[in-house]
Amino acid sequence: MKFLRRITNLFQRSRLDQEIVTELQSHIDLRAADNEAAGMRPEAAKRDARLRFGNPQSVKEHVTGADAALTLESLWLDLRYGLRQLQRNKAFAATAIGVLALGICASAAIFAFVDAVMLRPLPYRDASRIVALFETTPLSNRYQLSYLDYLDWKRANRSLDAIAVYNSNPTSAALRTTSGRTASGIDQVDTESVSAGFFDLLGVVPILGRSFRTEEDQPGSPGVALLTYAAWQSRYGGRSDVIGQTISLDSQPAQIIGVLPASFSFAPIGDVTFWIPLQLWDPPQTRGDHGLSAIARLKPSITLAQASSDLQNIAATLAQQYPDADKDRGAAILPWTDIVSGKLRPLLTLLMSAAALLLLIAAFNVCSLLLVRSESRRREIAVRGALGAPRSRLIRQFLIEGFLIAAAAILPGLAAAAALIRVLLRITPGDMLAATPSLNALGFNWHVLAFGIAVAFTSGILFALTPLPGFLTSDLHQGLAQSSRSAASVVWRKLGTNLVIVELCTATILLMGASLLVRSFYLLIHSNLGIETSHLDIVRLDASGIPAYDKPAQQVILAHRLVDETLRLPGIESAAIARHVPLAGIAGGVGSGFTFTGSTTFYIQGQPRFANPEEANFRSVGYQYFSTTRAQLQQGRLFTAMDDTSHPPVVLVNQTFARLYLAGVNPIGQHIHSDKLKSPAEVVGVVANIQEGAIDGSVAPVLYAPFDQVPDNSFYIVARTTQAPSLTLTALESVIRRVDSGIVIQVTQTMDERIQSSQPAYLRRAAAWLAGGFAVIALILGVIGLYGVIAYSVSQRTREIGVRMALGAQRSSVSTMVLAQAARLIAIGVVAGLLCSLGATTLMRSLLFGVAPWDIATLITVGIVLTASSLLASYLPARRAASVNPVEALRAE
């Protein structure tokens, strides 16, 4: 019955209020009657009765508050009152909601990337136990394995459930088809070769057909291939009868045995069309042929340290058994997540920290607004308290209004975050999306929604708590007699100025980090690559599927003809052939190691054969290559047209090679044995270092051989132009098609575009743009916050300023007084920010290039910019203070 009555009370509040008033009046009347019976006069008896029972409104609030159902109604009333308050102060509401929405947008958008790359598990079975394996040398901690070393590691280890290898450099193959995609009926497709247990290790099950069997990964076995989902849809229309079809890859027949799931991707490889067995297509030559990457799955109870110790023991044993190939080689093991997202982790950590700081500034700005607004409402709160509202009811009102602001900011903030996520994905290079598969499914999801709600909820609590100390520590009834202006001034001086100092400090940290990133990006794209990058065109072509170019002599003829035809084009100054061009691959290695792309093993005739690790990048280039790229010759001579197969083999080495392997001897005349050369080659020259690997990596040792002596049917044309290089790219493509329409053109770009689109450049450009944007917004919010502090302070001191000026103070001294107050806040905030930024920027060292975290020039520049901006914002209220009319100021008071 009691429960039903409470439910009924929700719909009969007026009747309940009347009952409470009637009952309260009856108690007052009875008390007054008792007083009269005791001899009191009627007026005094009634007054005493009213005093004993207290404020009728307060008593009614207390009675209704004891009813849980009626408490809900009071909450609804407080909610409506809070909405009316925000509607009445539209400027305040719009500013507070907009500033908080901006903070939610930035933090939620960056969190979406952090969630996809760093928090979500990889889409593999037992992903947390998947690791990458490497061999180590004194030069690097990330060397590839040979196939025979892989077999020994697989056989002897006690810490791994499974181990598999893959060719770390996907190759192109000629797919013979009747689809008519090219005039020759041959398509160029990307293939990747893996060991038989590769997909089983990852837990990937084909959606059609089956995976590789052990016996299919053997030399001489019938050819088989797995088809990617994208290729199945685009080439075969998603037909189920694709299983069992025979295709021809580089003239070798292979049967399609399965289709991989649409969700499958393998970050180090990117997009390929066919997956094929390793032994069938890339049979190993010797134990010294280190060209395979390895992955493994740890046993459930094994740690990384235990597995590393196990593999180190195996590597040490192999180094003793096979000194010719494995001397000084050890083993290294890394979590697979470090391989997949290792490059993005520092960037995302930095951006998430920047977004958090921006959110902090936004929240502090709203808190400042709430402080001013709450102090201006002190008289209102005191009146409500005097009318019977309990302190808990008033506190609840602030809680509701704080959460209303946070709730109103969620929708625009998350909508803007969803738009920002799409923009960031659109400007992300395709190769980076392929290298980070989790980004492909990135979007607005429930994780981002939950994060946004959590941010808003936390902000709501902060907003609700901000004005409470001023009311909890004072007598509300004093607000009836106290000037709200003086009270607000006191609280603002105590809290508002401290918030502004924190804002300026935070803005300084963001500006410092953004400035270092911008400078790093500028230095990166303008770094010395060892060549003159302007006016260089690059076109990569592949003729491997055309029988007419299978033989070396035919490949040389094709290369010469293409160069000759290119030189006939208007605007072409020079042209050359190169098997590889600068900025190949991505930055790898741990510590100070090198990145090797297209590497070779070698030894130097006449020197102790295994005194040093003997591995270097190998480049086959035309004799015009160095003059076309304008690389510098340091010693000896460059290649000439006479360096062909009719003359003895020759090579050039770079400065790093000479320093590491030919120190103390004259490099010219030394003879080098390489697995890429049929006979020893004489060193005829030393060229300056060219950045063959990643733009931000160390320059590895390089061997350059004449293309005519080591030809290939897949290579680049490098052309120097006398006009804008982008204008001649189409003409270069036309030349290739005119020579042979069956040649596949894979890449057309300028060298400047190659630099700009490289992964290191993109990472730093993205970091610079996003952190710079956050820093600018933080600067604006911080300056606005400072302006608000000074302007409000001036408004509170109008009478004081009027008195000063009436007593003879000059206008300049008044403005100086105001600017001095601002300068004190600015100095504290900027100096504290610069000191904090020294520690913050040290944490982002891995993203910097060519600049130290404590760069003095950047520190000074940031300090000057922030100080000047803040003083400019303070000048306006200082000028307003100096223009105060003393008579009007005193009359207003």
Is 50 exceeded by the pLDDT of residue 278? yes
Amino acid 537: pLDDT: 94
SS3 50: helix
Amino acid 108: pLDDT: 92
Specify whether 674 is located in the same domain as 629: yes
Amino acid 445: pLDDT: 85
Taking the C-alpha atoms of residue 104 and residue 109, their distance in angstroms, rounded to an integer, is: 8
- Of the residues 690, 715, 742, which one is the last residue of a structural domain? 742
Least confident range of 287-301, 338-352, 369-383, 700-714: 369-383
Taking the C-alpha atoms of residue 782 and residue 777, their distance in angstroms, rounded to an integer, is: 8
Domain that holds residue 837: 495-529+754-893
pLDDT greater at residue 79 or residue 477: 79
Taking the C-alpha atoms of residue 311 and residue 301, their distance in angstroms, rounded to an integer, is: 16
Least confident range of 181-185, 226-230, 460-464, 523-527: 181-185
Amino acid 889: pLDDT: 53
The residues facing 686 across adjacent strands are 635, 653
Kindly state whether residue 487 falls inside one of the protein's structural domains.
Answer: no
* For range 245-274, the mean pLDDT: 84
Kindly state whether residue 139 falls inside one of the protein's structural domains.
Answer: no
Taking the C-alpha atoms of residue 159 and residue 557, their distance in angstroms, rounded to an integer, is: 53
Q: What is the dihedral of CA 362, 365, 369, 375, to 10 degrees?
A: 120
Specify whether 77 is located in the same domain as 93: no
Amino acid 590: pLDDT: 33
* For range 367-373, the mean pLDDT: 75
Is 60 exceeded by the pLDDT of residue 649? yes
Amino acid 595: pLDDT: 60
Kindly state whether residue 537 falls inside one of the protein's structural domains.
Answer: no
pLDDT greater at residue 792 or residue 236: 236
Specify the number of domains making up the chain: 5
Residue 121, token pair as written in the block: 């598990």
Quick one: how far is CA 532 from the chain centroid? 31
Model confidence at 663, pLDDT cuts 50, 70, 90, reads: confident
* For range 187-204, the mean pLDDT: 87
Is 90 exceeded by the pLDDT of residue 251? no
Kindly state whether residue 379 falls inside one of the protein's structural domains.
Answer: yes
| Tens of pLDDT, residues 355-368 | 888 888 888 888 87
Residue 201, token pair as written in the block: 């290790």
- Of the residues 59, 83, 107, which one is the last residue of a structural domain? 83
Specify whether 520 is located in the same domain as 592: no
Specify whether 68 is located in the same domain as 187: no
| Tens of pLDDT, residues 763-801 | 888 888 888 888 888 888 888 878 777 777 776 666 777
Residue 756, token pair as written in the block: 């700009």
Model confidence at 498, pLDDT cuts 50, 70, 90, reads: confident
Taking the C-alpha atoms of residue 351 and residue 504, their distance in angstroms, rounded to an integer, is: 19
Per-residue buried b or exposed e for 3-22, using 16+ beta carbons within 10 Å of the residue's own CB: eeeeeebeeeeeebeeebee
pLDDT greater at residue 390 or residue 215: 215
Specify whether 566 is located in the same domain as 612: yes
SS3 295: strand
Least confident range of 417-426, 661-670, 858-867: 417-426
Amino acid 119: pLDDT: 80
Who contacts 270 (Cβ-Cβ below 8 Å, separation ≥6)? 170, 431, 434, 435
Amino acid 179: pLDDT: 41
**Tokens 């598969």 belong to which residue?**
437
Amino acid 764: pLDDT: 84
Quick one: how far is CA 659 from the chain centroid? 37
Specify whether 858 is located in the same domain as 720: no
**Average predicted confidence (pLDDT) for the chain:** 81
Amino acid 619: pLDDT: 94
* For range 642-655, the mean pLDDT: 94
Phi, psi of 427 (to 5 degrees): -95, 0
Kindly state whether residue 505 falls inside one of the protein's structural domains.
Answer: yes
| Tens of pLDDT, residues 524-549 | 888 889 999 999 999 999 887 788 89
| Tens of pLDDT, residues 576-612 | 999 999 987 543 333 334 566 677 878 888 876 554 4
Specify whether 75 is located in the same domain as 93: no
Specify whether 764 is located in the same domain as 830: yes
Specify whether 776 is located in the same domain as 799: yes
- The count of other CB atoms within 10 Å of the CB of residue 264 is 19
Kindly state whether residue 115 falls inside one of the protein's structural domains.
Answer: yes
Please give the single-letter amino acid code of residue 477. Answer: H
Specify whether 177 is located in the same domain as 107: no
Taking the C-alpha atoms of residue 765 and residue 771, their distance in angstroms, rounded to an integer, is: 10
| Tens of pLDDT, residues 303-348 | 999 999 999 999 999 888 888 777 778 899 999 888 877 777 888 8
Specify whether 769 is located in the same domain as 875: yes
Kindly state whether residue 489 falls inside one of the protein's structural domains.
Answer: no
CA angle 560, 563, 568 (to 5 degrees): 130
Amino acid 68: pLDDT: 44
Is 90 exceeded by the pLDDT of residue 289? no
* For range 131-137, the mean pLDDT: 87
| Tens of pLDDT, residues 743-768 | 888 889 999 999 988 878 888 888 88
Amino acid 587: pLDDT: 37
Taking the C-alpha atoms of residue 776 and residue 106, their distance in angstroms, rounded to an integer, is: 13
- Of the residues 680, 709, 742, which one is the last residue of a structural domain? 742
Say which DSSP state 128 is in. Answer: G
Kindly state whether residue 157 falls inside one of the protein's structural domains.
Answer: yes
Residue 342, token pair as written in the block: 């290792």
For residues 754 and 761, the answer to whether their CB atoms sit within 8 Å is: no
Kindly state the helix (H) or strand (E) to which residue 173 belongs, with its residue range.
Answer: strand 171-176
Specify whether 515 is located in the same domain as 557: no
